[in-house]
Amino acid sequence: MSKTAAETLSVVVEREVPHPAEKIWRALTQPHLIEEWLMKNDFNPVVGHRFNLRGDWGGVLDCEVLAVEPNRTLSYTWNFTHDDPAYNLKSVVTFMLTPTRTGTHLRMEQLGFRPDQKQAYGGAKAGWQQFLAKLELVLARTD
């Protein structure tokens, strides 16, 4: 998986949270707390640690810790293997915490692509992001 190929689909969710970054960091990195808001897991905040996230729906995600910067940045792979290629997904999830006057700005970015589409993306990495951004404008104009 090359890094550029992973920059093909992106989801960003941001939120102002009225809590200090240290506290949010605990919720993002302690297994019993992660389970309460995300999924069952065997997470450990150590770069290179491989773990699984287990959903109530029976799905299991294969993950590996990529970056740990306490109270600031946490990044891990978020891969899902499925018999139906349409559900296959390789992605990277990154949480960023930025202190604000009233708490913390929490930003989650998921960059991903479906493995079977790697070939298709190969020749057209540039332009995808831009294209998807434009796409939303196009769709907003049409019903």
Query: Mask of contacts with another protein, 43-82, x by CB under 8 A?
Result: ----------------------------------------
| Nearer Cβ to another protein (50/134) | 134
User: Which residues pair with residue 52 across a beta bridge?
Assistant: 62
Instruction: State the DSSP string of 27-95.
Output: HHH-HHHHHHHS-EE---SSTT-EEEEE-TTS-EEEEEEEEEETTTEEEEEEEE--SSGGG-EEEEEEE
Residues contacting residue 80 through CB under 8 Å, at least 6 positions apart: 59, 61, 62, 87, 88, 89
User: Which residues inside 123-142 make contact with another protein, applying CB under 8 A?
Assistant: 123-124, 127, 131-132, 134-136, 138-139, 142
| Nearer Cβ to another protein (83/136) | 136
- Residue in the structure block whose two tokens are 């940045």: 73
Check binding of 85 to another protein (CB under 8 A).
yes
> Which residues of this protein are in contact with another protein, per CB under 8 A?
9-13, 15, 17, 19, 23-24, 26-27, 33, 36-38, 85-86, 106, 108, 110, 112, 114, 116-117, 119-124, 127, 131-132, 134-136, 138-139, 142
